[in-house]
Amino acid sequence: MNFKTLLFAPLLLLMSNCKTQSQTQNPASDNKTFTLGINKKASIPNSKVTIEFENISEDSRCPANVTCVWEGIAIVNLKAVSGSETKDIQVATRDFLPKQVTKSFSYSGFRFTLQDVRPYPGGKEEAPTVTLKYEREN
């Protein structure tokens, strides 16, 4: 192996793990997925649980139609309410321990998973939304 091969092989390996971020993720069409706009709430049927989307606190995702070495992350702030209990929650597009955020969280007997955050950087202009999926925990 020559010096150039040794120098560029790790870079090529990193780039091969990247995806073009223009692909959109369609939320599941079941009744356990919901999309919220900023300051909008969703109530979980047959429970006292309500989830409110407060804001996007960070968005370092790779812009649309660009291939990046690191995919980036979006972090959103939610407010969960069950009866008189209120909890502020941060959830992210992927688990990221340096920021102490995860893609899923448990609250009041349910498991919530962040499915999508819109708008995507560099994509079309649209109002911010989050899509969450939930399931009852056993």
pLDDT for 124 equals 87
Residue 83: pLDDT over 80: yes
Per-residue model confidence (pLDDT) at position 30? 53
The pLDDT of residue 21 is: 34
When pLDDT is cut at 50, 70 and 90, the band that residue 129 belongs to is very high
pLDDT given for residue 97 in this prediction? 93
Q: Is the pLDDT of residue 128 over 60?
A: yes
What does the alpha-carbon distance between residue 74 and residue 104 come to, in Å, rounded to a whole number? 13
CATH number, residue 89: 2.60.98
- List all residues 6 or more positions away from 44 whose beta carbon is below 8 Å from its beta carbon: 50, 51, 110, 134
Structure token pair of residue 92: 């992210």
Helix (H, G, I), strand (E, B) or coil at 50: strand
* Residue 63 near residue 21, CB atoms below 8 Å: yes
Supply the pTM of this predicted model.
Answer: 0.76
Q: How many domains does the chain have?
A: 1
Q: Which domain holds residue 61?
A: 3-136
- Using DSSP, state whether 117 is helix, strand or coil: strand
Is residue 123 very low, low, confident or very high in pLDDT (cuts 50, 70, 90)? confident
Q: Which two tokens stand for residue 10?
A: 């790790």
pLDDT digits (tens, 9 = 90+) for 22-58: 333 333 345 799 999 999 999 999 999 999 999 999 9
Contacts of 39 (CB under 8 A, 6+ apart): 52, 53, 54
Strand order in the sheet with 74-82: 41-43, 49-59, 74-82, 85-92
